[in-house]
Structure 1
Amino acid sequence: MRKTRLDTDRIRAARRLIDPMFLDTPQYRCEALEPELGCAVSIKLETANPVRSFKARGTEVVASRLAAHGQPAVVCASAGNLGQALAWSGRDRGLDVTVVASRHATAAKLDRVRALGARLELVDGDHELARDRAADIARRDGVRLLEDSLDLETCEGAATIGLELVAATPAFDTVLIALGGGALATGVGHVLKELAPEVEVICVQPLGAPAMTRSWRERRVVTTDSADTIADGVAGRCPIPAVLDDLLLVADDAVLVREESIVAGLRLLLDHAGLVAEPSAALGIAAVLEDRDRFAGRHVATIVCGGNVDPAAYRRWVGAPRAGAA
């Protein structure tokens, strides 16, 4: 039987390198959502930390190991959340952090990267161009290049969420995971397939940024010319072959959802769960909204993976809270 690049013992060891403030995030059954979705719903809330996303689980592992080996600098490309997380983890360990991002990335995320003390370089292009520029900087300066999803620390850091999902009660029979570069999906998926193989792993991606889902379906890397979605955290165009290989081993399904369903998911999370989520974090809710019959009578878990939003854009998406909202 083929195995992923990940290792469960290393994932358990990674927990010991992560600041406890990023671990054991709230996980609970959200009954207020259930009448709207027609199924039992558990939420894993990865926004309840200083960088408001799951990304710090991976950057804590990276920064800890860099500091331990006397490597003083690191560079990454980011749509915003990874950059914030790396800036936080690097600052606490005295690392020199450079983040490369698209000039069109969410302004609130970029502002937070700067506030955390990282050097921010902007490119006139999308995330794929930022990845190229980060690699150029790493070669030029001889520093560590952190490549999200390709580097195992990012996948195994994210996989610690899977350990917590498995340990919690009540049990669930399906987990819905936002799919972008693949660190979250392959990490959590690996743990579930090893420790709870009866749980169905479904990855969810926007219809406007479908590269990894198309690749999973065709079992080969499929790139796209563009990505057009409000879910900027998962808007990649060029899947990484090694990550796709892992995804093929752990995902039971990969689905695409429309933008209007993502917006509806954001509204439900706000109105019925009191949660401000970024679009990527609403993908699991969107998947249920688009296929209620599939999930009827089941208990699904979804990872609310980030909550960094541009306030003006968020107000446009969700509007005013509905009367009587929870």
Structure 2
Amino acid sequence: MLLLDKTIEELLDLEEELIEAKENEKDNSLVELIRLYEELFRKISADRKSEYTSSLDQIKKTLVAYLVRYGSYLKTQYQKDDHSAASTLKKAIMYQKELPLAYYRHGFLSYKQRDYLKAITHFQLAIDYQEKCSQTVYLLNQQQLYNAQLYKSNSALYIADTANAYLKEIESEELSAKAPSYEQSPLFQLISQNEAFLHAHAFTVVSAGESRLCSKEECENIIVENLLPDTFILYFSDGEHSLYFNRKNVRLSINHAEILRFFFLHTTEQSPATKYHFERIFSENQRGKGEIPTNTYIQNVRRIQKKIESLSGTHPVITNKRYQGQTGYYYNQTIPYTIIHRSDHSFTL
């Protein structure tokens, strides 16, 4: 039966099934969940006297969160797709305008595709809505704000440079004699300078007590040449998220990559992480239903542990411990780690 033909009650029953499929990282589960929330929103909006009207805002909030957070991963939770990202970001903005992060990501996609006019528009909207957005999860960080201005500037320069090149192509001797003589603006030199800066500082490499900026090529060389032997390398690349160890690697879903990053950076034996540390990730599946199931947290950690063990053998690196009456886990530091990600990447945690 199509979602269109289901009742609100049937859609709500299906929600639980699709959330479980998402937790098990089944392909197309994200697509189906987004479609379900869209249909729920449409049906309840059409009947303001419905008993479910009070849940409309929460459904919209959940839908927007899925569109922004998972928009790049609709085909699979392991690999990004720019086309899916662009279409879902458009949808998110349709439901809620005050989304600076969505505009920023859309601007970056347009810049990659050399659609500089769209890029300027999206980056400017990201900057404008930064002051109007009340939800911190969608705000730009300082690096993104800086890059938005830089990308916007370069986009304008590329447009001007293209116009200047076209003028030279059609310029005749007669027009040239009549037109005033202009020297090329020194601003055009900024194009290559800005690109060089963005390229050299595109990625950040983080290890215990150290952080540095580098180019994408430098980062990939660390992995290809195994410059950090016997070290876990968590790589948030442009295409997917992976964990490397001595040239072996496993792909991680977006949620598992974020959880593992948190373990690396923020946990110790004295301060393990409970399910509440990951509330922003797990609560999206609760939709205001209350307590996050402890079993959800435990199952996610176990899946991560299995992937780690497939790389490094049976040597345990994530240890459990009872903490403040809750199940806690921490990274025991027996193997060093390095995290590599885009400098303007925004993490949910």
Give TM-score scaled by structure 2 length.
0.24
Query: Per residue, is there more helix in 1 or in 2?
Result: 2
Give the structure, 1 or 2, with the largest relative contact order (CA under 8 Å, sep 6 or more): 1
